[in-house]
Chains A and B, each alone.
Chain A
Amino acid sequence: MTESEEAWEDALLAIRVAATARHRIGGIHVRARSGPARDAWVERFRETLPDIPVLRFSPDIDEGRLLGDLDLSRTLAEGRPILTEGLLSRANGGAIMLAMAERAEPTLAGILAGAMDTGSITPATGTLPARFLLIALDEGADETETLPLALDDRLGLRVDLAAVSWRIAAGEAVVPGPGAVDPDAVAISDAMLAALAGAAMQAGWPSMRPALWLSMVARIVAALDGRHEVAPDHATTAIRLVFGPVAIAEESEEPAESRPDETPPDPSDTPPPPPEGDPSDPHDTEDPDPIELDSDMLQDMMVAAEAARTMQLPILLPARAAGADARGSGKAGAKKDRARRGRPVGFTPTPPYPGARPHILATLRAAAPWQKLRAMENGGKPRSFPSKPGLDIRKSDFRYTRLRDRSETTVIFAVDASGSTALARLGEAKGAVEMLLAECYIRRDSVAVIAFRGTEADVLLEPTRSLVRAKRALGRLPGGGPTPLAGAMAKALEIATRVLRDGSTPLLVMMTDGNGNIALDGTADRAQSREDVAALSRHIAVQPMQKVMIDISARPRESARAFAAGLRADYVALPRADAGSVSRLVSSYMGGR
């Protein structure tokens, strides 16, 4: 079976597991670009669960529609408040498809997460049940663009359709319905639970949820398999479904080999065999033999988990731990509430800037409840709703949209940690980053750090506002070796593009002497390095961001100045760069915009 086919089989199995567990599994995190493979998957999902309501919306939905809101026209027509039913409670017993889930704001994530935790929502009228399966369609372009951690953690299944070709997805494969399987009847041994808990722990997530998902998915997979006890291959399948299909390569053969020979490998090698009564299945007896979990199997599972960890670390962890939460989260910060552009964040009775136009609907809504009172004030009987046209709207009713400009800055430090820079400089740069972060985490500004030395540049710190993470990442800053300047510029460009895409403003601070000697491909080729640097300089120069080059060489040279000019960066020579002056300099750039 090709990788593509395996990924598709897993994706279909995830549907069956979700169809069995319903809201108890949280939902499915689907990583795929919009395309035929994803369409086919969604189609299969709906075929498997034809009878449930499936609501689809995108992350820009407002809270009123999610939780229920005043229905203005009907309220005015009937003269009593009519509330619309929120989408979350309409989805009760069904599923929600969140399109473009990677754009979800923390507030939306928080609302969804709260509803998933309690199985209910509490709008003004009282608690309503809201048990749903959340299908997050994540179209993130790279690993750092993904859905908020609050949601990711609550979704028990993970499907990645990147490897699935449309030819396979378009195949005739029909997903058998969940049938009458009862995962609660499936036993799971303590040793197996321990192995699953260990696997979850080794995968590096601090959360307890993956371990819970693993045990649930393993039992469901076993139930779908028609067994009454979780066997090692069910557990490895569960690891694949919960942590994503990355670990497939290692595992696809292992369980078959390491299994005791009483269970012959399934000849067709199809992960989801028919749920009940497979005639070729020796376990299809009243009382199946208890499955012995020997140390070898445990070892295999640990190896699989370890493989999942090592293979996923570079791929999944930054996405879960760094990019996702660094982006658009965190609350501290002076917002520009008087912004003329940006994202609407609510209504205000005072005009945010002179000449602002009132928001009609919000104004009407503010005026609506007063109509009867005002009619009475105006002498005589309350006029009957809504026979007499015309609303009594007063100045105090006017509502204006409050916009929030995503005006945060992300400072990208590219720090030369090579041998040509004294090691002390590195300490200063590190100090400057920490000082900046400590100073300005109130200001909604983020900091990213790239260090370059040896053959390549490392992103030590993805854009973050967290002091905790900064400290941890900076602790690992090594020094010495040649100077891969081009590599650092490439990384800086990559982060800057991402920052721009998220709507905030990057500020690039290069701390170097401007002399690279390692080319982009990691070879020690001075000429190639110069070419790479020149090419990247042209790219960076046209980016709509501020650039500062801090020359930290002991004797500032003309070449450094030329490098800064190529970048269209401001050139500052700070031969005795100390943490304080660097921090002050960068602060002046951030404040001066």
Chain B
Amino acid sequence: MAPPFPFSAIVGQTEMREALLMAAVEPTLGGVLVFGHRGTGKSTAVRALAGLLPKIETLAGCRFNCDPDRPDAACDPCRAKIEAGKPARRKIDTPVIDLPLGASEDRVVGALDLEKALVSGEKAFEPGLLAAANRGFLYIDEANLLEDHLVDLLLDVAASGVNVVEREGLSVRHAARFVLVGSGNPEEGELRPQLLDRFGLSVEIGSPDTIADRVEVIKRRNAYDRDPEGFCKTYGAREGKVRRRIARAKAAIGRIEASDDVLGLAAELCLSLGVDGLRGELTLIRAARARAALDDDAEVTREHLLAVAPSALRHRLRRDPLDEAGSTARIDRAIAALAA
């Protein structure tokens, strides 16, 4: 298969790209929801991200991507191997799993292994997409078109980090920690508000609005279509830079502190916007920290916080059908009011 379109060759869409990087650096952020029209590069960006993520270490032969250094979260065979000492480790690419719209529940959560049941009469569990996405990304294109019961299930697993399967006589629990990335077009039906705020960040994107940018998009796409390998090679250096930036930020994020001043600002902002619950504040701080890590800064500043505020809060505002202005404008107003 041809390599995916390089991340660094995407023209514009800075907010979406930064949001994806933040989610990659800080997996507890709760994922990203990308809202925008069709053909604006949503899927391209997510699929391109796969090539940039650092490799993860897992146990040889594990189908749940268990972490050898965390036996408590590992599946039974892996835990046994770890306890026996010196398990065979191997490095794999961070999984970026595409959830196809038509995927059945069996495929998503896992089901009885038909092959084993039929051939050897063994009752075994066939892991689904959630297992495959453990410690990686799960991408749902057109999240707003997904069957409701699947959306509920996914969000529940994403929040708890555990996939519990109780069906067909099977009883399985396995770790399923993944970053959920959803995309959709708001004009084709909206997500329920309860689901919206489970996502950490949300970005709204449009297509480039200048002719020059659009021409650049066409040129790059044409060049890519003509020779995918060659095109990716020309972007090799830039891809490497992004890859190193992610790795550096991932290493640094644990050391980054947020001062009380910044925490106060986050609280004030959420209060003035009437954001329900603490999730908004938490996400805001985490996102600001990820942002600081990506910017190579040692601590979170007010600028980091304000820069991520629209992405972190936009989808958490109460809907006011009579307010003509969009959520982004309301956040901008609140920021301006705080600055004054």
Chain A residues at the B interface, C-beta cutoff of 8 Å: 24, 63, 66-67, 70, 75, 79-81, 106-108, 110-111, 113-114, 117-122, 124, 127, 129, 149-150, 153, 184, 190, 193-194, 196-198, 200-201, 205-212, 215-216, 321, 325, 329-333, 335, 345-346, 366, 368-373, 376, 382, 396, 431, 434-435, 437-438, 441-442, 465-469, 471, 475
**Across the interface, do A331 and B151 meet the contact criterion of CB distance under 8 Å?**
yes
Q: B232-250, CB under 8 A of A: which get 1 and which 0?
A: 0000000000000000000
* Consensus secondary structure, chain A interface: helix
Chain A residues with CB below 8 A from B63, complex form: none
Chain A residues with CB below 8 A from B92, complex form: none
Nearest chain A CB to B212's CB is how many angstroms away? Answer: 8
**Across the interface, do B321 and A438 meet the contact criterion of CB distance under 8 Å?**
yes
| Known A111-B101, A321-B187, A325-B189; further 4 A-B contacts with Cβ < 8 A | A80-B118, A106-B145, A127-B1, A201-B211
State A369–B206 Cα separation when bound (angstroms).
48
State A153–B142 Cα separation when bound (angstroms).
14
Chain B residues with CB below 8 A from A121, complex form: 100
Known: A153-B38, A329-B189. A197 touches B117 (CB 8 A): no
Chain A residues with CB below 8 A from B155, complex form: none
Chain A residues with CB below 8 A from B100, complex form: 67, 110-111, 114, 121-122
Nearest chain A CB to B86's CB is how many angstroms away? Answer: 31
**Across the interface, do A369 and B38 meet the contact criterion of CB distance under 8 Å?**
no
**Across the interface, do B38 and A465 meet the contact criterion of CB distance under 8 Å?**
no
Q: Select which of B38, B40, B147, B214 is within 8 A of A149 by beta carbon.
A: B38
**Across the interface, do B319 and A438 meet the contact criterion of CB distance under 8 Å?**
yes
| Interface assignment of B330: CB less than 8 Å from any CB of chain A | no
Chain A residues with CB below 8 A from B189, complex form: 325, 329-332, 441, 465-466
**Across the interface, do B186 and A190 meet the contact criterion of CB distance under 8 Å?**
no
Chain A residues with CB below 8 A from B90, complex form: none
Chain A residues with CB below 8 A from B211, complex form: 194, 197-198, 201
Chain B residues with CB below 8 A from A114, complex form: 98, 100-101, 141
Chain B residues at the A interface, C-beta cutoff of 8 Å: 1-2, 37-41, 43, 47, 98, 100-102, 104, 107, 112, 114-115, 117-119, 121, 123, 141-142, 144-148, 151, 168-169, 185-192, 206-209, 211-212, 214-215, 217-219, 221-222, 225-226, 319, 321-322, 324
Complex A-B: 14 CB contacts under 8 Å: A106-B145, A107-B147, A113-B142, A114-B98, A114-B141, A120-B1, A201-B209, A206-B40, A329-B145, A331-B144, A332-B190, A333-B148, A431-B322, A434-B321
Chain A residue at minimum C-beta to C-beta distance from B189? A330
Chain B residue at minimum C-beta to C-beta distance from A324? B188
Known: A110-B102, A114-B100, A190-B215. A79 touches B118 (CB 8 A): yes
State A370–B122 Cα separation when bound (angstroms).
9
State A368–B324 Cα separation when bound (angstroms).
57
Chain B residues with CB below 8 A from A190, complex form: 215
State A442–B151 Cα separation when bound (angstroms).
14
Chain B residues with CB below 8 A from A117, complex form: 43, 141
State A518–B223 Cα separation when bound (angstroms).
58
Chain A residues with CB below 8 A from B168, complex form: 366
Q: Select which of B107, B141, B190, B226 is within 8 A of A467 by beta carbon.
A: B190
**Across the interface, do B142 and A110 meet the contact criterion of CB distance under 8 Å?**
yes
Chain A residue at minimum C-beta to C-beta distance from B207? A208
Chain A residues with CB below 8 A from B141, complex form: 110, 113-114, 117
Chain B residue at minimum C-beta to C-beta distance from A376? B121
State A466–B189 Cα separation when bound (angstroms).
5
Chain B residues with CB below 8 A from A79, complex form: 118-119
Q: Select which of B41, B217, B321 is within 8 A of A435 by beta carbon.
A: B321
**Across the interface, do B218 and A184 meet the contact criterion of CB distance under 8 Å?**
no
Chain A residue at minimum C-beta to C-beta distance from B121? A372
Known: A81-B114, A110-B101. A467 touches B144 (CB 8 A): no
Q: Select which of B98, B188, B222, B322 is within 8 A of A434 by beta carbon.
A: B322
State A325–B214 Cα separation when bound (angstroms).
25
Chain B residues with CB below 8 A from A437, complex form: 321
Chain A residues with CB below 8 A from B219, complex form: 193
State A177–B219 Cα separation when bound (angstroms).
28
**Across the interface, do A212 and B218 meet the contact criterion of CB distance under 8 Å?**
yes
State A422–B145 Cα separation when bound (angstroms).
41
Known: A190-B215, A201-B211, A373-B123. A81 touches B118 (CB 8 A): yes
Chain A residues with CB below 8 A from B186, complex form: 466, 468
State A143–B212 Cα separation when bound (angstroms).
33
Chain A residue at minimum C-beta to C-beta distance from B323? A471
Nearest chain A CB to B222's CB is how many angstroms away? Answer: 6
Chain A residue at minimum C-beta to C-beta distance from B205? A206
**Across the interface, do A329 and B188 meet the contact criterion of CB distance under 8 Å?**
yes
**Across the interface, do A193 and B192 meet the contact criterion of CB distance under 8 Å?**
no
Chain B residues with CB below 8 A from A149, complex form: 38, 185, 188
Residue from the set A66, A194, A206, A469 with the largest chain B CB neighbour count within 10 Å: A206
Chain A residues with CB below 8 A from B192, complex form: 332, 442
Residue from the set B101, B107, B144, B188 with the largest chain A CB neighbour count within 10 Å: B188
Nearest chain A CB to B257's CB is how many angstroms away? Answer: 39
Nearest chain A CB to B141's CB is how many angstroms away? Answer: 6
Chain B residues with CB below 8 A from A376, complex form: 121
Q: Select which of A63, A66, A70, A331 is within 8 A of B191 by beta carbon.
A: A331
Chain A residues with CB below 8 A from B187, complex form: 321, 325, 466, 468-469
Q: Select which of B114, B147, B191, B322 is within 8 A of A369 by beta carbon.
A: B114
State A435–B191 Cα separation when bound (angstroms).
17
**Across the interface, do B321 and A207 meet the contact criterion of CB distance under 8 Å?**
no
Known: A329-B188, A330-B144. A208 touches B39 (CB 8 A): yes
